[in-house]
Amino acid sequence: MKIIELHKSVTESNDRDAEKLRNELKERGTFLINVMSSPGAGKTTLLSRIITDLKNELRIAVMEADIDASVDAEKIEALGARSIQLHTDGMCHMDAGMTRQGIEAMGIEEIDLAFLENVGNLICPAEFDTGASKNLMILSVPEGDDKPLKYPLMFETSDVLVVSKTDALPYFDFDMEKLRERVRRLNPKIEIFPVSAKTGEGMEALEAWLVKETKEWKN
């Protein structure tokens, strides 16, 4: 398992670095998705399911960013996908310079779809453009339908919201309609996919979106 210790980016403008990285990824034909959520919302489980379901259709790689450990990258590698573990030098987010270091260390040759599993929290990752083609956030059912009220920036900066662990809906007072209303008020363009990575419910719609967007990016 390859582990990379990232250096803090020394840059004047993260936004400019991010735009540059995004353009390069477009030229190289790799669609990069920045995956953000609280710890335990189900990022690694969702990515594992996506790899299993789509591995014959798309060449997929995953960069796992954490403050420490390498358990997530090991899980992804065990599925046969290219993966790397990034350590963020104590930082609670990834920025564009750090994402570039990860891409260079992992390599994205012959990769159609790459995921960056960002550090788990709903605050700092929303503040930094990583250079990804799209931002995808996960909110799990046990976290509650009030999170858009508390962490609005995360919902505003995401292109896609995956509502995960829908198999747990019977056990929680989670109002899906209320959630949709709150999210749409912050971000009318966001795409919402309720899924359970455990039962597979809703995965088809999300995976169809991933395949469509990846193919469009490459053209």
Interacting residue ranges for Mg ion, rule: CB under 5 A: 43-44, 72
Report, in Å, the least distance between residue 177 CB and ligand GDP: 20
Question: Which of 92, 168, 186, 192 is in the footprint of ligand GDP by CB under 6 A?
Answer: 168
Under rule CB under 6 A, which residues in 57-116 are in contact with ligand GDP?
A: none
Only one of the segments 99-107, 129-137, 161-169, 180-188 lies at the binding site for ligand GDP (rule: CB under 6 A); that segment is: 161-169
Taking the C-alpha atoms of residue 185 and residue 204, their distance in angstroms, rounded to an integer, is: 26
Q: Which does 168 bind (CB under 5 to 8 A by kind): Mg ion, ligand GDP, none?
A: ligand GDP
The structure tokens listed for 198 are: 């455990």
Q: Which does 83 bind (CB under 5 to 8 A by kind): Mg ion, ligand GDP, none?
A: none
How many residues touch ligand GDP under the rule CB under 6 A: the total is 16
Which of 54, 7, 12 lies closest to 31 in space, CA to CA?
54
User: Are the CB atoms for 34 and 119 separated by under 8 Å?
Assistant: no
- If the CB atoms of residues 43 and 147 are measured against Mg ion, the closer one turns out to be 43
The structure tokens listed for 94 are: 């990834």
Report, in Å, the least distance between residue 82 CB and Mg ion: 17
Cross-sheet strand order for the sheet of 60-66: 3-5, 82-87, 60-66, 113-117, 31-36, 134-140, 160-164, 191-194
Taking the C-alpha atoms of residue 41 and residue 165, their distance in angstroms, rounded to an integer, is: 8
Interface residues with ligand GDP (CB under 6 A) are 37, 39-45, 120, 164-165, 167-168, 196-198
